[in-house]
Amino acid sequence: MPRLAGQQPEYLKNQLQAFIEHRRTNPVMFNVAHVLSPSMLTALSSYFRDLNPKPLGGAPRDLVVAGRKIYEEGIPASEVPPCASCHGPDAKGADAFPRLAGQLHDYIGRKLTNWDRERGQDKANPDNSAIMQPIAHNLTEGQIKAVAAYLSYLE
């Protein structure tokens, strides 16, 4: 499960709507999201935005330096842009781009590894998360672990 504290409201609403519209598939999240009214979506997203989570860390610390380099500089040879270009230099996201700072390292690792199977389920109705598909695809397992480690310690 992701940490929702501090998450960008626009991103959170978009993802809940994606579960409702089956652009993302998860039976538990569909059952939660499809009963939410538009005003409830707004209230929930505002509530979570105003929380300021402390990082939990827990990832191998020896991966943090490599993860920071990827986050800040990208991997030009693999056509991976700097994560900071969309998620911000502090990884707190903006608008439709999610907060990644303090996110659980195993969650980020699973999401990047399984991007093709979990996102973009409705090819005729893609959402803004489609931009991540080629990026996630071009990252190696080691690079994913490094970025996830770096993010898990950010405040």
* Pairwise CA distance, residues 123 & 74, whole Å: 27
Residue 120: per-residue pLDDT: 59
- Each residue of 4-31: pLDDT tens digit? 999 999 999 988 988 888 888 888 998 9
Residue 52: per-residue pLDDT: 87
Q: Assess whether pLDDT exceeds 90 at residue 70.
A: yes
Percentage helix, strand, coil for the chain under 3-state DSSP, each rounded to 5:
55, 5, 40
CATH number of 9-153: 1.10.760.10
Of residues 130 and 152, more confidently modeled: 152
Q: Assess whether pLDDT exceeds 60 at residue 121.
A: no
